[in-house]
Structure formats: C-alpha cells, structure tokens
Amino acid sequence: MTNTNMNTSMGSTQTSQCDDKQTLQDALMSQKHMTGSYNTFAGECANEQLRTAMLSILNEEHKIQADIFCSMQSKGWYQTEQAEQQKIQQAKQKASAS
C-alpha cells in the first residue's frame, strides 16, 4: 500500500468515526426531545388507556436513549464525571425533603 493510499484509508476511518459520533449525538438529542414530549403527553392525558400507552412508549424511548448513551460513553464520546459521595448525599436529602 502506498503512502497516499494509507493516508486515504486513515482519513476514511476518521471520517467514518466522525460520522458515527455525529449520528449518535443527533440520535441522543432526538431521544431527549421525544422522551420529554411523551412525558408531557402521559402526564396530561385524561384517558387512562391512552396514558398507559404513552407510559409504555415513554419507557421504550428511555431504553433507546440509554442504549445510545452507553454506546457513546463506551467509545469515549460522552464523558461524565464521578460524583462525590457528599454531593450524592446532599441530593438524596434534598429529594427526600421535597
């Protein structure tokens, strides 16, 4: 393989990774939007059967969102910080006081 071919192949791989990353970022943003919408629909639904259907769809959409997040995180495309134990306890106390 010539140097030119190697550069072309490497560039193609990098482009593919950028495309994959962008695709997953777009998918994650879409899922965030969709789960927000389904959450609103379910919370404001007057018909119990329809509410149950919306909650089922919402649950499936959350699973899809989690799968996308895990895929991005495993590739190093979505970094998260480790929470400090003190901050976790404060959040728990704040939530339980509400």
DSSP string, 6-73: HHHHHHHHHHHHHHHHHHHHHHHHHHHHHHHHHHHHHHT-SSHHHHHHHHHHHHHHHHHHHHHHHHHH
23-33 per-position pLDDT tens digit? 999 999 999 99
- The proportion of the chain whose per-residue pLDDT surpasses 90, expressed as a percent, equals 61
State residue 6's pLDDT score. 47
Distance CA 75, CA 46 (A): 42
Is the residue at 91 inside a domain?
Answer: no
- Write out pLDDT tens, residues 52-71: 999 999 999 999 999 999 99
User: Which residue segment(s) compose the domain that 53 sits in?
Assistant: 3-79
Query: Number of structural domains, the chain?
Result: 1
Task: Take residue 68 and report the two structure tokens written for it.
Answer: 């996308």
Please check whether residue 65 is in contact with residue 28, taking contact to mean a CB–CB distance below 8 angstroms: yes
Residue 98 lies in a domain: no
pTM: 0.69
The larger pLDDT score, comparing residue 15 to residue 48, is at: 48
